[in-house]
Structure 1
Amino acid sequence: MKPGQMAPDFTLQTLEGKTISLQHLKGQPVVLVFWASWCSICNEEFPLINRVFQQRKLKRVYLISATDSEKKVRVFFKTHVYPGLVPLLTGHTPAVQVARKYQVSGQPTMVFINASGRIEKVHSGAISTENLLQILKML
């Protein structure tokens, strides 16, 4: 995916059973974080991105794992609480399809989508606080 392209629509559920669809989120910035429970960088960065997103009052930050089962995601978020981040129920088919739509090739990958539904930036790998703040200014 390239900046300026319309972000592909998707529909997934939160751990609480709420349906999330990108088309219903237009009008506010959205950040998608593609992650995996076994990804050490992801686990190290969750506290950082949670803190930054809460400070910036971003409420549309969704975590998508195409490699973890629903059970593994639920267990992970019972022991790791990040109030600013919304884990989506993942598992095999739906999350894999979303990852393919967004051409994700590794974890972590963050996709920053502006209020009009266009991709502003895609960032793969570790991210610093400074870099994250610079990207968020574009939204």
Structure 2
Amino acid sequence: MRTRVFWALGVLLGLALAVQPGQRIPEFALWDPQGNLVTPATLKKPAVLVFWASWCPVCRAEFPGLHKVAEETGVPFYVISREPKDTKEVVLAYMKAYPRFIPLLASDRDKPHEVANRFKVLGQPWTFVVDAEAKVVALFAGRAGREALLDALLLAGVEVP
């Protein structure tokens, strides 16, 4: 019981500290797999940013549902590992099962886990839905349910199925 209480308090604290709806996303510069530099200015928007880790069982459970939403809506889902040990090779191998996701990789300027710190992400998965102005319209700490995610995409200006 205590473990659940501490976990819930941690999630609430994390949500209070993270980038909030209405705020612009922090600056970052990461590479996509084709070698293009991705920044908040170059993101295809609206977009979804998902912070994850290759070892995370919740991420593994959530990704098939997120991928289905990406396929159905055509919205770009950028995935950023917050695990410093997730190498480019690990990330790209993991993402082979999710071709609609755009993994963002370390650049000369930024590392993915540093970007997670700028968003004040305290765990994984954490999902941010961003509108055309790069403002957060919704965030999810833990699993993002399908209906809640579709509602957030509506708020971001996306026509959903």
Q: Which residue of 2 aligns with 1:74?
A: 92
Aligned pairs for 1:5-84 (under 5 A) are 5-25=23-43, 28-58=45-75, 60-67=76-83, 68-77=86-95, 80-84=96-100
How far apart are the structure 2 equivalents of 1:15 and 1:57? 18
How far apart are the structure 1 equivalents of 2:144 and 2:151? 11
How far apart are the structure 2 equivalents of 1:129 and 1:7? 23
How far apart are the structure 2 equivalents of 1:74 and 1:117? 25
Change (3 A) 1:2 1:121: same
- Identity among equivalent positions (%) equals 34
SS in 1 for 2:41: helix
Q: Which residue of 1 aligns with 2:111?
A: 94
Which ranges of structure 1 fall in alignment gaps of 5 or more residues?
A: none
Contact 1:73–1:90, Cα closer than 8 Å, also in 2: no
Q: CA-to-partner distance for each residue in 1:55-109, whole Å, 9 max, x for gaps? A: 1121x210000211222212323xx421221111149x61122111100000000
How far apart are the structure 1 equivalents of 2:70 and 2:88? 24
Larger radius of gyration: 2
Scaled by the length of structure 2, the TM-score of the pair is 0.76
Scaled by the length of structure 1, the TM-score of the pair is 0.87
Which ranges of structure 2 fall in alignment gaps of 5 or more residues?
A: 1-18, 157-161
Count of residues paired in the alignment: 134
Report the aligned-residue RMSD: 1.7
Moved over 3 A (4+): none
How far apart are the structure 1 equivalents of 2:104 and 2:133? 22
Q: What code does the residue aligned with 1:30 have?
A: A
